[in-house]
Amino acid sequence: MLSTSADIVPATHELKTLSNNNITLHANGKKTIVYFFAPWCQVCNFSIDNLQSVYQKNPELNVIAVALDFVDVEEVKKFTNNHQLTFPVALGNESVKVDFQVMGYPSYYVLNEENTIIGRSLGYSSEIGLYLRSL
């Protein structure tokens, strides 16, 4: 887990999801994992299934995936379909990448119920590792 200050509250971003709904990158009173990925990232391909498993086993936890650095929406849809993701997948942009200081993929951010970043991680994470980071 990378160090983070308990005072960091990210700017609110509203993004489009693959299902063409609007989603806000905000905790909304629930502990939330925001997962930044790129569809071409091999480590993302290995780790996203762990995130899906954590999401399915922990209904008290919010999960939002944000695609960055993609060529087109079809590339993101293919990635999502290949992994049978059931949590929201948003189409990110450079502004989100800069505000969250995403330096590589995959990047995980844990937000507490008040929308404060309480942890972040870069790279592969096991299912148990993801769950423990969210506690």
- Cα→Cα distances 94→17, 56, 61, 79, Å: 16, 29, 26, 20
Structure tokens at 125: 């994470």
pTM of the model: 0.88
Q: Is 87 within a domain?
A: yes
Whether the bond into 106 is cis, omega within 30 of 0: yes
- 97: DSSP letter: H
Note the pLDDT tens digit of each residue in 18-58. Answer: 999 999 988 888 999 999 999 999 999 999 999 999 999 99
Q: Say if strands 22-24 and 14-16 run parallel, antiparallel, or are unpaired.
A: antiparallel
Q: Residue 76 sits in a domain of what CATH number? A: 3.40.30.10
Q: Report if residue 42 sits inside a domain.
A: yes
Dihedral class, residue 123 (left if φ above 0, else alpha if ψ from -120 to 50, else beta): left
| Residue 32: domain span | 14-134
